[in-house]
Amino acid sequence: MDQVTIKDISNYKDKEITIKGWLYNKRSSGKIHFLLVRDGTGIVQSVVEKGKVTDEEFEMADHISQESSIIVKGLVRADPRSPIGYEISVTEIRLIQEAYGYPITPKEHGIAFLMDHRHLWLRSLRQHAILKIRSRIEKSIRDFFDSKNFTLIDAPIFTPSSCEGTTTLFETEYFGRKVYLSQSGQLYMEAAAMAFGKVYCFGPTFRAEKSKTRRHLTEFWMVEPEMAYAELEDAMELAEDLVITIVKDVLSDCSKELDTLKRDKAKLKQIKKPFPRITYKEAVNLLKEKGVDIVEGDDFGGDEETILSNRFGLPLFVHHYPLALKAFYMKGDPKDPSLALCMDMLAPEGYGEIIGGGQREDNLDTLRKRIKTAGLDEKDFDWYLDLRRYGSVPHAGFGLGLERTVAWICGLHHVRETIPFPRTIERVSP
Ligand code: 4AD
Ligand code: MG
């Protein structure tokens, strides 16, 4: 007797198999019950016919409720009407635990209700598809950097100081001191790049974002590559290749999931190199043409990003923002020191920024001034300044936000569905 998962069912045509799972849905017509059984890898219709199972089993199959755990044994039959091409003709069925009153029924539920039941909502087809794609993207990211000989260096979560400005720090008590949850592993990756050349970290980061938008979480995952002897242009090329790879991998391995989400695949198939590149100044002019009330020196908000990223069917690089808008570590352009050697990548279809990065200030004195101007305490960054004291070189990198990337690839309106258990300004449970 083979123990198989639904994903591999096509290898078992006309053979008897056992599926261990849960009842997803059911319909009955007197002498026959159609059970949709899911096992985490797929859903298969399992047909229970009177006379082919015991009377007790047949009776049980009639009353079994949604999400009860069951084990079915039966013959795999080809069925052209089935979405997976096969169904099971049941010969034996066992109830493991009866689920009474499963709260998420096939009817429509509001988002707050679903979020309160996130621990159960994960079982639904749509959420399952999204998290399968997230998992595939994470693998794609790791494979990409590993294949390019980047070394994975894990950044700490407890940090003594800020990386992306002090306004979004989560503070926590640490044996009589204050420490902060990491906003970004970048500063540590810079240290690691001087030791290993090409490195990346991939983990959760935390921001006390007061903004209640469809793009903001308080805990989100970021992959952050950093390269020694590299400049802005190198970071842009790497970012472009990474995004191309992610899109290609999802299209080839998650076709079924994209269909479940009704994602327009043509939009993803058209993602090709090179991505358009415009300067911040050009972006401002573009926005003005669109009637946006903006002047040079203003930062872009969600609305501006949406307009820009709707303009092209491709991810868009916006580079050379005013240095004054950017974090202390950004390097000024030697050709115009008021501009930063930085870039954002905006995903198309209005998704906005998925990547931020650029070249880092590598001069000790300039960096010290920048720390001071940012109102930060140089003492906190003494270790970081060591990197400019001992063998400083041009270096660059970026951070890609995983949830915003998943939202774009899946075509979701809000990032809350892109992470298994979202944390937002108003939600820390389940
Ligand atoms: O642009 P950010 O702030 O860049 C950094 O943190 C750099 N230190 C990264 C680096 O160069 N190593 O954030 C990078 C990306 C954004 O483009 C966005 O995709 C994501 O992180 N991000 C968020 N995602 C969800 N919720 C939030 N609150 C986010 N804040 C940033
Ligand atoms: Mg940014």
Mutate to test the pocket of ligand 1, among 199, 218, 220, 226 (most ligand atoms within 8 A of CB): 220
Q: Where are the domains of the chain?
A: 2-97, 118-417
**d(Cα 417, Cα 420) in Å, to the nearest integer?**
7
Q: Which atom of ligand 1 is nearest to the CA of 399?
A: 9
**pLDDT tens, position by position, 151-167:** 999 999 999 998 898 88
Taking CA atoms only, the protein residue closest to ligand 1 atom 4 is 356
CA distances from 118 to 150, 258, 299 (A): 35, 21, 35
115: pLDDT confidence band, cut at 50, 70 and 90? very high
Percentage of the chain exceeding pLDDT 90: 93
Q: What distance in angstroms lies between residue 300's CA and the mean position of ligand 2's atoms? A: 10
Taking CA atoms only, the protein residue closest to ligand 1 atom 9 is 399
**pLDDT tens, position by position, 342-373:** 999 999 999 999 999 999 999 999 999 999 99
Q: Specify the pTM.
A: 0.97
Residues 6+ apart with CB under 8 A from 366: 332
Counting ligands in written order, the one closest to the CA of 355 is 1
The reply to whether ligand 1 has any atom less than 6 angstroms from the CB of 185 is no
Indicate the range of 80-84, 153-157, 392-396 predicted with least confidence.
80-84
Contact at 8 Å (CB) between 32 and 48? yes
User: 50: closest CA among 58, 40, 39, 61?
Assistant: 58
Q: What distance in angstroms lies between residue 408's CA and the mean position of ligand 2's atoms? A: 16
Taking CA atoms only, the protein residue closest to ligand 1 atom 1 is 356
Counting ligands in written order, the one closest to the CA of 222 is 1
Q: What pLDDT, on a 0 to 100 scale, did the predictor assign at position 264?
A: 98
Q: What pLDDT, on a 0 to 100 scale, did the predictor assign at position 30?
A: 85
Domain 118-417: CATH superfamily, name plus number: Bira Bifunctional Protein; Domain 2 (3.30.930.10)
**d(Cα 145, Cα 304) in Å, to the nearest integer?**
31
58: pLDDT confidence band, cut at 50, 70 and 90? very high
The reply to whether ligand 1 has any atom less than 6 angstroms from the CB of 404 is yes
What are the φ and ψ backbone dihedral angles of 44, each rounded to 5 degrees?
Answer: -130, 140
DSSP annotation string for 228-266: ES--HHHHHHHHHHHHHHHHHHHHHH-HHHHHHTT--HH
**pLDDT tens, position by position, 228-273:** 999 999 999 999 999 999 999 999 999 999 999 999 999 999 999 9
The reply to whether ligand 1 has any atom less than 6 angstroms from the CB of 354 is yes
333: pLDDT confidence band, cut at 50, 70 and 90? very high
Ion ligand 2 — residues with CB < 5 Å:
356
Mean pLDDT of the chain: 96
Q: What pLDDT, on a 0 to 100 scale, did the predictor assign at position 166?
A: 86
**pLDDT tens, position by position, 199-231:** 999 999 999 988 889 999 999 999 999 999 999
Counting ligands in written order, the one closest to the CA of 329 is 1
b/e 83-104 (16+ beta carbons within 10 angstroms → b): eeebbbebbebebeeeeeeeee
The reply to whether ligand 1 has any atom less than 6 angstroms from the CB of 61 is no
Q: What distance in angstroms lies between residue 216's CA and the mean position of ligand 1's atoms? A: 10
Q: Which atom of ligand 1 is nearest to the CA of 186?
A: 12
Taking CA atoms only, the protein residue closest to ligand 1 atom 2 is 356
Q: What pLDDT, on a 0 to 100 scale, did the predictor assign at position 212?
A: 86
107: pLDDT confidence band, cut at 50, 70 and 90? confident
**pLDDT tens, position by position, 168-182:** 999 999 999 999 999
pLDDT of 25 above 90: yes
For the domain bounded by 2-97, which CATH number is listed? Answer: 2.40.50.140
Q: Where are the alpha helices (DSSP H) in 157-231?
A: 186-196
Q: Which atom of ligand 1 is nearest to the CA of 225?
A: 12
Q: Which atom of ligand 1 is nearest to the CA of 218?
A: 28
* Mean pLDDT, range 304-315, rounded to an integer: 92
Q: Return the amino acid letter for 243.
A: V
Taking CA atoms only, the protein residue closest to ligand 1 atom 21 is 401
pLDDT of 1 above 60: no
Q: What pLDDT, on a 0 to 100 scale, did the predictor assign at position 173?
A: 97
The reply to whether ligand 1 has any atom less than 6 angstroms from the CB of 164 is yes
Q: Which atom of ligand 1 is nearest to the CA of 207?
A: 28
